[in-house]
Structure 1
């Protein structure tokens, strides 16, 4: 989940909101404890003293009437008579925890300041703690003796409707915060995702698709710089392609002449040593010619505007032609070839697809040991053609598998390869809407799997 920048940013934002809320509560709690608690205690005590003074001024001994009046004025009241019996007025307390010593002290004429003397609690604000210890108290003289009276504001009753308002406000605040954070996170992460997709296109060699500049902030500047880099890479890639194409064309002609000259020299009367030299030169020029041919094919694939992909043919016939052509190489190494080819019709560029198949099959022949086995299976599944080429060669490790389709990549065990064959096959297959995959383990052989779209067998085919 947290691998996504979007989820990370949203999580960090909500974490900041939560921490800010907790810190705000704690600061407010500290402020109440050190600044407001004593004032609140004094204010409530003054209210209780005014009630006592009013009672004395009226020369009335009916204490119950005044305490009931305080209860009606949103106060919680508890009165303890001489026998210690408690009488409650207003809303009941959630917790009764006054000690007999506190009650007796008030009866003896000392005021009780439970609100002002309440210890600090970082979890809950003392203002909302609904218990008898969180009160102020004084004594009232009556005909039946001294009565200890303790009161505190009835927060729940006084703020009942306002509390509902605050709850609705808090719920709406949370919902709107979540919606706005989600939207703002998406708006911020969207250009980053666009740059991510653009980077993936560049990694795949797509330098033509422009990068839209959608913002005017730092991310917009990054988008603009990234698009400038794309244009420069495109220019370098075009220069590389033109250079490879031009050099390949320039080399192709003299190589052809050298081949003709070597053919003529082979027909002349030469010594055995001269014949060996001529044969080695012929092999090297042939290898160089193959490299030039593959470079020209890569250049053709990179500039495929003139390529045609409308040939309809049987893939099994194409593979049989390749096997006939490679039969000599297989016999030279005494290899066992097992194949099962289902009749499958595909559409595309027949010349290029044949080249892709040939590169993969030649690769299997090349790296299969003498007396080794090569298996080729061609099947049709749903709307796809699946070709599997399996050998029992030395296999590849993970680092080689990850780079096997790169241009000019050669592992240490493949020093006689030019590193272009599989890259060409991958490019051809992908341009036909297919894919090529490799499975390999060291000392357990290699399997190449080519998947291509197929067409109905009823459509006309040409071999």
Structure 2
């Protein structure tokens, strides 16, 4: 059943992978993540670069205009400050601003245009731009605008003209931003080209990286498909020391476990078949024998045959019961009816129940404990089954006149139940396997080989463990350790 579950799990995983659309593949996801990151970085870099270039060129132009305005101011204050601005303009003594390559406007302190080097129709009109208003207040400042009609983008600087520390007017320089925009466009082209190259390179690198990443996964899928097809000998190649190699190791362990469980299943079927065949053969043989007329007249032979059939029937019934118990306990759906239980009282009941069997064989069966009460949290019927199974084994392997002790003790937070006998014991090379499923050892008194295995399953389900100590021809001690119920007084 567990093997079948493993096969179904592998098949489900493979189908789930095969049903994924290309857009949901790991390879595509890796490429998408890398490209989103690269594209975001490139776009951010392009925006930053464009703003930096624009700021650089506009700042350079602004500095140039500011230097020119400062020179004009020095020329005016050094050579022409004895003239009014209107006299300078009318008298054609305006050499101090004639050297400018930009548009030059001379304004009075109220912002009215006295002169325009381009001869525009704004002469005699008051300008109301931001830079002019700042200059009226004695501050130099810039503003950006568009020329009327042409729509050309320009930058204007209004600079106060001083004479003897008194503002006598404003010089306003206006320069076109077309050359700046052209330089920005030229430089931005190379940055955009660089971004495109980086994006394409990142796409190529991410493709090969994703392919390299997915390749071992595809190999593992191939191994999984073979496992799902029933080829459990296939192994995944373990490379490196990462999550993929751990997955490959896990897959190999799964394959090994399936093989082991397959062997256990075959061994189980073989053992059960052998064990059931023996009593059935005896029953069938005696059933045929007892049908013979000469045997039917022989009462002793009839009684002997019927007794053998009865014994073999009981043995067959016990085997079936053990198999059913083992199957139920191994199932994940099996539920234990755990409750607060006094293990001392339960042990006394088992001792009383089995005492007549030991007395009939003159076996000294003693119950030993200094405690009146040892509380545990357990399934009463299952714990009783454990005690009966272990004591039954002790009786079976102890000679007439021997000794069996049922000892109860506690150690730390554990309750210890020890069944000790002076029977034939277990050989050293067999003691490690006696609790294994269907292991019967070399003794002729062994039966299904499931008794101790069932006991161990029950004890593990109670959070305990089963310890077996034995010496051949001396005796055996089977120790059951289970947790004591917490916060309960012990008497």
TM-score range, shorter chain: 0.3 to 0.5
- Normalised by the length of structure 1, the TM-score is 0.44
- Normalised by the length of structure 2, the TM-score is 0.42
